[in-house]
Amino acid sequence: MGKVPARPAQDKKQGADSGIDGVLYFLDDNSGKAKKIVVQVKSGGVKVGDIRDLKGVLEREKATIAALLTLQEPTKPMKEEAISYGFYEPEHFPGKHYPRVQILTIEQLLDGEELQYPRVAPDVTFKRAQRKGKGKQSKQKGLEG
């Protein structure tokens, strides 16, 4: 598994960058609807405008969290801009809050830091399916061989 467990975004159309390089889904309530994290990767020349653009992607995609992965250390204005978008506070995790816009460097990821989001759904999220016994299986004639 990679350092960020997102799957690559699969943009069906060629052309302009949609601003999404990866997507990750998580469940943290009993609605049964997964919440989305969008991931963007930038190799260099990152600036505060990239964080504003990422916020636009977050809103357009109706994502819960957005993450920028970069080689460069973020500037103070980038960090302040990211923090200005607030926190996601899941109702089933009282007292927990996760930055809505996160910036992680490759160095931080290699040092063990991780994307912040609810990783384990509470017990009320998943209902166990009823176990059903195996029924009689009938063989079709003529398919044995």
Tell me the per-residue pLDDT of 105-136, one tens digit each, with 9 for 90 and over: 999 999 999 999 987 654 433 345 566 666 55
pLDDT of residue 124: 36
| Rounded CA Rg of the chain | 21
Residue 15 located in a structural domain: no
- State yes or no: pLDDT of 1 exceeds 50: no
Residue 84 located in a structural domain: yes
Residue 96 located in a structural domain: yes
pLDDT of residue 64: 96
Query: For the packed helices 76-83 and 48-60, what is the interaxial angle rounded to 10 degrees?
Result: 20
Residue 116 located in a structural domain: no
pLDDT above 90 covers a percentage of the chain that reads: 54
The set of long-range contacts for 139-143, using a CB threshold of 8 Å and a minimum separation of 24, is: none
Q: How many domains does the chain have?
A: 1
Residue 65 located in a structural domain: yes
What pLDDT, in 10s, does the model give residues 41-58? 998 789 999 999 999 999
Give the burial class of 1: count Cβ atoms within 10 A of its Cβ; 0-12 exposed, 13-18 middle, 19 or more buried: exposed
Residue 85 located in a structural domain: yes
Stated pTM of the model = 0.74
Rounded distance, CA 140 to CA 143, Å?
A: 6
- State yes or no: pLDDT of 98 exceeds 50: yes
Residue 119 located in a structural domain: no
Domain membership of residue 105 as a residue range: 21-110
44-77: b or e for each residue (b if 16 or more CB lie within 10 Å)? Answer: eebebebbebbbebbeebebbbbbbbbebebeee
Residue whose pair of structure tokens reads 């509470």 in the numeric block:
122
